A and B are shown apart, each in its own frame.
Chain A
């Protein structure tokens, strides 16, 4: 055990740097998933067919094994961060799209009708009434996305992506040596810490961006 703490002490700078990379990778992907996912949700929630297609397609992304998807990305995007970000963004879409659609559909229709009756156009209604009211549900979706992506991002090391996955794959390459366990465990703990950080951050952000009137 003390040997593990020695390892952490020795690789401290490294662990922090890799952690920041991991957070950057996930942060950017969550941002992209959110932007694209909310857009898809907003454009499809009103009508049944497009809505179902959006959910089916983004849902099917999640069924692709991450290992396979990363490798499939190589011919198109090479190796490093870019293929990882694209793959993560795809994985992150479903929770955001689903919650955006659910959130928007759950907005009380009387509220929307009174907005319409007061002379708000379609875009104004969406931006000023529907999205703010659906926001807590959307944020919940974003939090799920963040948790899912923090884990999957580690696998991205297979295509030389940055983050705690590098520790885990290094460990994998040295199975049998004493360092292997240290590498894998520290990589795993790093992933957990990043996950907790993201979830806390998003929870606080969600609270700050949600009107007190609906909390």
Chain B
């Protein structure tokens, strides 16, 4: 990842090698008064998710589709990995770029395996390698190959089709992926899950991704970097989500982020970054008396029952114990709900805990072991910290030089 080529970025905004560079890119449709994309220059660093976000009609999709030349630019250059591809053979170019669109566009007459095999076949891989690749990719997107290989798209749910779409886009192992509202047509609950899965996947594969959305919340959640675009694909701000929320460059950006910037920042903090609350816990085999002791020792009304592997099994309260003294601990009280992992965002945790019993989310690690609790208080505390942070940053230059550090410490 050294900055060696002439295309590498000198700006501080691009830490890695520049993977995609758009130079004065423009698209002027005939008979239209204004260009759809007007002289756009943008550098996309390797291994990052860059989100193009903006109101409808701002040219974000046109911009993305010019990268794989589904739409041919009328001016400017596209440089991919140091190579000018503005005039390259478009079919060859596209085989090296993964492409996911909102409608997914799976081929309905082909099986899942055949769908995924499309690009490897075009690249001339041998049958054995293609077969292995199909199984590998299905596993990557958590679909059992033996179950799904020979199914047809119509036999899958919307979420599964979306996963296959991603697997298909990854099939030729492209360095670059273009995604046009890939989660747009999915119901909100599944969308959240797929977004999280995709982020986990991206942490492994580290593709360079250009991702188009109109949804600022999705942009903040998914993006390493966000380009907020105005009409004509003019960049209003190109920065990290953190910076965009903290320091919107102009009124357009501030309006686009909309209200509740601090709530949106819940998408940026993860459960692992905050102080978890501790609630009383007891072991599955414990005597009722021990449970009552544990409850008495804390100010919470409920104790969490853990099994031998420290996995949460049940919430119990004193009245539960009195009602069913003879029954084992995992048959009284209420089942644990709202279980989140440390990499979940605070927004995920908040969504979970609002609907859960006792308004708490249980945090477990990857093997399901209990880590702690997120409750409303922990979230409010996190918001307060962010506010203090932001206020301090906004006041930079007004007070003493070290204000930021102080404020940040107070906030934490």
CB pair B94–A117 under 8 Å, yes or no, is: yes
Contact of A213 among B93, B153, B178 (CB under 8 A): B153
| Least Cβ–Cβ distance between A153 and chain B, in angstroms | 34
Indicate if B105 sits at the interface (CB-CB under 8 A): yes
**With contact pairs A110-B105, A213-B153 given, residues A119 and B91 touching in the complex (Cβ less than 8 Å):** yes
- Contact of A119 with B152 in the complex, beta carbons under 8 Å: no
Other-chain residue from A108, A118, A129 in contact with B94 (beta carbon distance below 8 A)? A118
Q: How far is the CA of A50 from the CA of B307 in the complex (A)?
A: 73
The residue of chain A having its C-beta at the shortest distance from the C-beta of B165 within the complex is A114
Which residues of chain B in 17-36 are interfacial with respect to chain A, using CB atoms and an 8 Å cutoff?
none
- Kindly count the residue-residue contacts between A and B in the assembled complex, taking CB atoms under 8 Å apart: 76
> In the assembled complex, how far is the CB of residue A121 from the closest CB belonging to chain B, in whole angstroms?
5
Judge whether A120 is part of the interface by a CB distance below 8 angstroms: yes
- Are A115 and B101 closer than 8 Å at their CB atoms? no
The smallest C-beta distance from A117 to any residue of chain B, in angstroms, reads 3
B105 engages A119 (CB within 8 Å): no
Check A114/B104 contact, CB under 8 A, given A211-B110, A213-B110, A213-B111: yes
B106 on the A face (CB < 8 A): yes
Mask, B51-81, CB within 8 Å of A = 1, is: 0000000000000000010100000000000
Q: How far is the CA of A213 from the CA of B164 in the complex (A)?
A: 15
Chain B proximity mask over A77-121: 1 for CB below 8 Å, otherwise 0: 000000000000000000000000000000010111111111111
Distance, CA A214 to CA B107, complexed state (A): 10
Bound Cα distance from A210 to B105, whole angstroms: 19
Interface residues as binary, A105-144 with B (CB distance below 8 Å gives 1, 0 otherwise): 0001011111111111100100001001100000000000
Contact of B99 among A112, A118, A124 (CB under 8 A): A118
Interface size class of A (residues with CB under 8 A): 20 to 34
Contacts of A110 in B (CB 8 A): 101-105
Q: Across the interface, do B93 and A119 meet the contact criterion of CB distance under 8 Å?
A: yes
Question: Closest Cβ of chain B: how far from A195's Cβ, in Å?
Answer: 30
Is the C-beta of B109 less than 8 angstroms from some C-beta in chain A? yes
Please judge, given known A-B contacts A118-B118, A119-B95, A121-B91, whether A111 and B152 are in contact too, CB under 8 Å: no
B397 contacts A by Cβ under 8 Å: no
Residue contact A111 to B70, C-beta cutoff 8 Å: no
A120–B110 contact, CB under 8 A?
Answer: no
Cβ contact within 8 Å between A114 and B108: no
CB pair B105–A213 under 8 Å, yes or no, is no
Which residues of B, 101-128, contact A by the 8 Å Cβ criterion? 101-111, 118-119, 122
Question: Which residue of A has the minimal Cβ distance to B111?
Answer: A213
Cβ contact within 8 Å between B109 and A132: yes
Q: A132–B115 Cα gap in the complex (Å)?
A: 14
Question: Does A10 touch B at the CB level, under 8 Å?
Answer: no
Give chain B residues whose Cβ lies under 8 Å from the Cβ of A210: 109
The distance in angstroms between the C-alpha atoms of A121 and B118, with both chains bound, is 12
User: Which residues of B376-395 are within 8 A (CB) of A?
Assistant: none
| Contact indicator B70/A117 (Cβ below 8 Å) | yes
In the complex, are the beta carbons of A111 and B119 less than 8 A apart? Answer: no
B119 contact from A112, A119, A129, A133, Cβ within 8 A: A119
Determine if B108 and A119 form an interchain contact, defined as CB atoms under 8 angstroms apart: no
Q: Which of B99, B119, B168, B178 has the most CB of A within 10 A?
A: B99
Assembly CA distance A120 to B93 (angstroms) = 11
- Asked if A114 contacts B105 (CB within 8 A), the reply is yes
Q: B154 at the A/B interface (Cβ < 8 Å)? A: yes
Is A49's CB within 8 Å of the partner chain B? no
Per-residue A-contact encoding for B148-187, CB less than 8 Å = 1, 0 else: 0000111000000000000010000000001000000000
Residue B92 at the chain A interface, CB threshold 8 Å: yes
Using CB atoms, name the residue of chain A closest to B122. A119
Chain A residues positioned under 8 Å from B102 (CB to CB): 110
Residue from B93, B152, B178 within 8 A of A212 (CB atoms): B152
Also in contact, A133 and B109, with CB within 8 A (given A118-B118, A119-B119, A213-B154): yes
List chain B residues, Cβ under 8 A from A108: 103, 105, 108
Task: Please name all residues of chain A whose beta carbon is closer than 8 Å to the beta carbon of B104 when the two chains form the complex.
Answer: 110, 114
| Cβ B118 vs Cβ A214 within 8 A | no
Query: Would A116 and B70 count as touching, CB distance under 8 A?
Result: yes
Q: A111 to B153: give the CA distance in the assembly, Å.
A: 12
Determine if B91 and A120 form an interchain contact, defined as CB atoms under 8 angstroms apart: yes
Contact yes or no, A214 B94, CB < 8 A: no
Nearest B residue (CB) for A122 = B91
What's the Cα separation between A210 and B95 when bound, in Å?
A: 28
Which residues of chain B have C-beta atoms less than 8 A from A119's C-beta?
A: 90-96, 119, 122
- Selected A-B contacts with CB under 8 Å, 15 pairs: A111-B108, A112-B105, A114-B104, A114-B105, A115-B107, A115-B118, A116-B70, A117-B68, A118-B168, A119-B92, A119-B95, A120-B91, A120-B118, A210-B109, A212-B152
Q: Give me 14 other A-B pairs in contact (C-beta within 8 A), A119-B92, A120-B122 excluded.
A: A108-B103, A110-B102, A111-B108, A114-B101, A115-B118, A117-B94, A118-B119, A119-B122, A132-B109, A133-B108, A211-B109, A211-B110, A213-B108, A214-B109
Going nearest first, the 10 A-B pairs with the smallest beta carbon separation are: A114-B105, A213-B152, A117-B99, A211-B109, A119-B95, A110-B103, A119-B94, A110-B105, A119-B91, A213-B109
